[in-house]
Structure 1
Amino acid sequence: MKIAVVGTGYVGLVTGTCLAETGNQVICVDINEQKVKKMQNGQLPIYEPGLELLFHRNINQGRLQFTSTLVDAIAEASIIFLALPTPPGGDGAADLSYVLGAAKDIAKLITDYKVIVTKSTVPVGTADKITAVLTEHTNAEFAVVSNPEFLREGVAVDDFMKPDRIVVGTLDERARKLMAELYGPYVRQGNPIIFMDQRSSELTKYAANSFLATKISFMNEIANLCELVDADVDMVRRGIGADDRIGRRFLFSGIGYGGSCFPKDVQALAKSAHDYSYDFKILNAVMDVNYIQKTVLVEKVKKYYKGDPKGKKFAIWGLAFKPETDDIREAPALYIIEELLAAGATITAFDPEAMNNVKGVFGGKIAYAENQYEALNDADALLILTEWSVFRTPDFDMVEKLLKAKVIFDGRNLYDLQKMIDCGYYYNSIGRKLIN
């Protein structure tokens, strides 16, 4: 098939590359001409494990192209994916200006039947709005399809190539057949393509992310309670995770969720409910818990230094909102750094992939290390904010030599408590026994 993908962020670039990998001819379009030129020259603009190999292979074999001209992208495409940003507005509602603007531009260019697919995360009723825009500006036949993505940053390529399910919202039989044909190669092992109406499809995406965010916030609440009652959240997690009605995933406590999806999707679903005069109490509580949890480690630091960390130097391991990505959107690390700087502390940070993005936020307000151990030089304590694999088994002898004091605040519960006791560290983690 001939496919156009409008937007080359995480979702658009992964979508376009993975669709090309199964033999489709894909043209990705982006208004950022500098970014397009870099991609045309084989430069991948994001870090995502496994994507670079497919990116270069499909460019070299002529199946994946990039342009800044919309007409070039959609001229021969039978399916046009919209993978555009939908950032939260001031009231929490998703901003649809990019999506609806693209729909208007597309409408003025199409002359024959096209399937317009929303890959962006959009509120219920967005397909109707896109349909209205297209109807106003074209006489050509078209179908608007909702096809939400369920990609996890860090494993997005695997998620696309081997999906546990594909959700497609359409009542147009012609579009249904095209989407079934397109996704057939990805579900050969029997995982379902679930067809439904557009509004149900749009809500499915928000419901999925909001439920997962709820699990995270629930476990963070349990972790905070564990510290008060002298219980161990890891033991609780194992105990409830063995129940298949609950499951093991998304039960790890920490310093809150971040990224491009959970924060804005929970907020947008709560706002959509409010627009229909429904008070979604659980989601409001989830957002409140997550906001507080992002700085719980700062409170632990302040308590250790008797309320005044001014003049202290902290080493930070991890800046991305999760491992295996360079994405720092809504990353807890950003909130923690802001709080520590405001308290008069200094910071040296290291992250395997996200430091360039953080430099764009903080510039010279913090220092950046070449590796994890360099960040420890002359630091009063170490804060662990992202659970990168490289941080899981450090050389504790080296850590001890470089730190001023054997003090670790672990926001991701990476280390065994007995190990920390044996090594003689002050070790303060989330929802577990304080090692002092």
Structure 2
Amino acid sequence: MKIIHGKTLEEWKRDNPNLHTIMETEETFWRNPKYKDFEEAVSKLSITLADVKEAEERLIRFAPYLIKAFPETEEANGVIESRTIRIPKMKKAMENHYKMQVNQEVFLKADNLLPISGSIKARGGIYEVLKYAERIAIDNGMLSYDDDYSILTNKSFGELFSQYSIAVGSTGNLGLSIGIISAKLGFNVFVHMSADAKEWKKDLLKEKGVTVIEYNSDYSKAVTEGRRQAQANENMHFIDDENSKDLFLGYAVAALRLQKQLEELGIVVDEENPLFVYLPCGVGGGPGGVAFGLKLIFKDSVHCFFAEPTHSPAMLLGLLTGLHEKVSVQDFDIDNVTEADGLAVGRPSGFVGKLLEELISGVYTVEDEHLFQLLTMLVDTENINLEPSALAGFPGVIHIINQPDFQYPHATHLVWATGGSMLPEKMKKENYEKGKSYRKNKT
């Protein structure tokens, strides 16, 4: 008889009815029974809005450097940010696809177009590297907070940073963001990649001068090895996607910017006009940071939901069982094999899960075929091409309009598009054709 953390499988299923469909890798929608009002939940936490604003100020200091080092950021004055856009044609296609009326507005947060690395990871990953670089430069007497940070492009800084290294474990997008910014600054960079990482992401990193170390195993192995490498080198900084407060705060800054964008779009967010946000989730750092920032800004007027592949429901199992990082999908005989490579994580971040345990409204899972169908629909309707994992947010809209206690006539739905602009054209075409084939078969 199989024992999972002190309980039999039958006992787990008895206490958690959702486990039946989760273990069958069927699409599942789970409402968080531990969810609490914002003020009650946040009173127990140590991270504050002041921490998020400090991170925002650091990014503002770095804007002159980013403009000089990455000219594509000049138009946005060195701010790494994406647009929030209406997608009425996709909404109409979803209504036809799901045979359901969506009476509220649906928006897309286009993080697939974020400059430098084209995914949500450009937020937290780049932020943590910049913070590390700032500390080294200040400690060495070469930089002060009052300086024009564009001086960081000077050769002397590259020589300084070349004495230091950065390591990270990644399924792909975090490695890209950290590899690109770290190599540009002059660091030695080591990206430990899991077996599901796409070949083009590895190739791009190598082109940038990054050392890519590959494993025939999943994300957890890549992280473990990256952490081990850094522990053996005092001048090596390990960026820990599972536990990093700096990564988390870099992601959370998105909430401050989204607040301004929604105001510019004329979108009111309050008790009568709530905001529902759908975030694709792997280990949890990116969506967790964004969700936390949104809760700090909008409090009880925002509901955040994580979306995971049916074969990699790591955060769902961590929250549902209360075991967080102590449980893996393999414990429940789920294989963690998905084409949504950015979400192919078998064990969630305990740091994120515990922090959001009473703030996240729920989690749902999506089949790979479903992701590809949505991918093709979005190209056909809005001419927006995302990587498969970035489509996971869309079914959340349908889940929520089916929930009796979430019936708000003037709610706003926001789907977070987490990556896709850097996909090679060949892969975009292959993904599109695959989605087309799945849609044809469904018809």
Same fold (TM over 0.5): no
Give 1 or 2: higher helix fraction.
2
Answer 1 or 2: higher relative contact order, Cα 8 Å, separation at least 6.
2
